[in-house]
Every structure is written in structure tokens, then in C-alpha cells.
Amino acid sequence: MIAFILLGALTLVGAVITVAARNAVHAALGLVGTLLSVAGLFASLSASFLAATQVIVYAGAIMVLFLFVIMLLNANAPVRGRDPVPFVRELAGIGGVVLAGAFAVLAFTYKDPRPLAEGVAATRGGGAGPVGEVLLTRFLLPFEAVSILLLVAIVGAVALVNRPAPQPDGVADTGGLTLPTSPDLQSEALLPEKVRA
């Protein structure tokens, strides 16, 4: 219980920092805090494999990627000026409060189907062994599908950021996805090069 309160508080503080920080690097670090706290919560929920994965994949790999991009684009300053979407802060606040309230109401009216100890025993500690057993038997197909998805994502990410190499005759390479330079060119830009010519 004490662990939950502590980790829960840390999670929320990290989340608030993430959302409210003016500097993008601070926000990313806040998110790291949240992710680590959530990993702790996973552990407190006796999901040890997921806790480890959370730390390694999320707090490790994904957050490093985020920080890389933030620094690469030098985009850690917030956007200034009037928000073009009217009443967005107010609406987001109201919506968030209603959402959180509704969650709380639903959570506290929720009845566990059996004593928690039984559940903990049934998940067998949530280690790599039990989870892997389920994952590679009952959920083999989703597992493989997700692996293909990852592969596609890798290829896609490389293709997206691939800078077209300058051609001898000055024609731009069309290997990478060319995004429009201005909104009014968008429809035209989405056509293949051959059709446009």
C-alpha cells in the first residue's frame, strides 16, 4: 500500500511535469520518471517481466529515441502566440476532470471477482516464463503479426527520413516520401511523379 502511494505519487508528478514543462527535454525527463514509476507499479502488481520490459524498452530505448529527436530538431522551445483552437484549454480541463472522475467512480464501484491473493498466485509472478508460455502458445499469431509490424516500422522509418541523393540529371529521387511544401500543393504532391509529368 505504501509502495503504491509512493509510486503513484511519483507517476503523477512525472506526468504533470511531462504535460506542463516548457522545455521539451524536461518534459521527456518527466516522462522517464513516470515510466520508471509505472515499471515499479507493474512490479507491485507482480508482473515482473513487464516491469523489466517497461524499463528496458520504454524508459530505455523509446525515451532515448525521443531525446535524440528533440535534440536533433532543437525543438525544445514551446510554441508561442495565441492558440488557434478556441477554448481548447478550458474544454480539455473540463473533459479531463469528467474523464478522471468517471474513471474513479467506475473504479470504486468495481468488485474484484475473487480475493487478490488468488489472482497473484494464478499469474505465477508474471515472470518471463509464464508470460512467454502464453505469448508463444495462445497468442502466437498476434506475436508474429507484431514482429512483422515492427519490421515494417523499421523499413518505414528509414524510408521516411531517407534524404534523396542528388541525381546527375538533377531529378529528385522519389524513394523517400515527399511531403508538400505548402498546403495548396498537397493534392498535387500526393500524385506519383510520373502522373504529374
Partner 1 sequence: MPLYLLPLFPLIGFALLILFPRLFPGRAAGWLGSATVLASFVVAGARYLGQTDTPAHEVLWTWLPNMALNANLSAGFYLDQLSALMALIITGVGFLIHVYSVSYMGHDPKFTRFFAFMNFFVAMMLILVLADSYPLMFVGWEGVGTASYLLIGFWFSGRNSEASDKDLRGASDREGVANSNAARKAFIMNRIGDLGFMLGMFLLFKLYGTLSIPELAARVPGAQVATAGIELACLFLLVGAIGKSGQLPLTTWLPDAMAGPTPVSALIHAATMVTAGVYLITRSHFLYDLAPVASTWVAWVGGLTALYGALSALNQHDIKKILAYSTVSQLGYMFMAVGLHAYSAGVFHLLTHAFFKALLFLSAGAVIHALHEEQDVRAMGGMRKFMPFTHIAALMGVLAISGIPIWSGFFSKDAILAAAYTSSPLLYVVGLGVALLTAFYMGRWYFLVWRGEYRGHVPHPHEADGLIKVPLGILAALATLGGFLNVPAFLGGGHAFDAYLGRAIPVHLHEIPAATEWLLTLLAVAAGVGGLLWALAEHRRRSLADGPLGQISSNALYLDRVYDGLIGAPSRAIAEGLDVVDRGVDGTLAGIARTSAAPGGLFSLWQSGFVRAYAVSMLLGTALILGYWAIKTIGGGA
Partner 2 sequence: MAPTAYYIALSGLLFAIGMIGVLTRRTAIMVFLSVELMLNAANLALVAFARAWGDLTAQTAVFIVMTLAAAEVAIGLAIIVSIFRKRETTNVDDLAGLKG
**Site for partner 1, rule CB under 8 A:** 84-85, 88, 91-92, 94-96, 98-99, 101-103, 105-106, 109
Q: How far apart are CB 91 and partner 1 at their closest, in Å?
A: 5
Yes or no: say if 136 and 147 are a contact pair by the CB < 8 Å rule. Answer: no
Q: Which residues of 98-120 are buried (b: 16+ CB within 10 A; e: fewer)?
A: eeeeeeeeeeeeeeeeeeeeeee
User: Shortest approach of partner 1 to residue 13 CB, angstroms?
Assistant: 23
Alpha-carbon distance 33 to 43, whole Å?
15
Q: Give the CA distances from residue 83 to residues 21, 22, 86, 92, in Å, rounded to whole numbers and listed in that order.
A: 17, 15, 7, 13
Instruction: Answer with the entry of partner 1, partner 2, none that 193 interacts with (C-beta below 5 to 8 A by kind).
Output: none
Q: Please identify, using beta-carbon distances, which residue of 2 and 85 lies nearer to partner 1.
A: 85
Q: Closer to partner 1 by CB, 111 or 194: give it.
A: 111
Nearer to partner 2, 110 or 195 (CB): 110
Nearer to partner 2 (CB atom), residue 179 or residue 195: 179
Residue 9 beta carbon to partner 2: minimum distance, rounded to whole angstroms? 10
Minimum gap (Å) between residue 33 Cβ and partner 1: 25
End-to-end CA distance of the chain: 67
What residue 94 binds from partner 1, partner 2, none (CB within 5 to 8 A, per partner kind)? partner 1
> Which residue, among 24, 26, 51, has the nearest Cα to 38 in the 3D structure?
51
The set of cell numbers assigned to 27 is 518534459
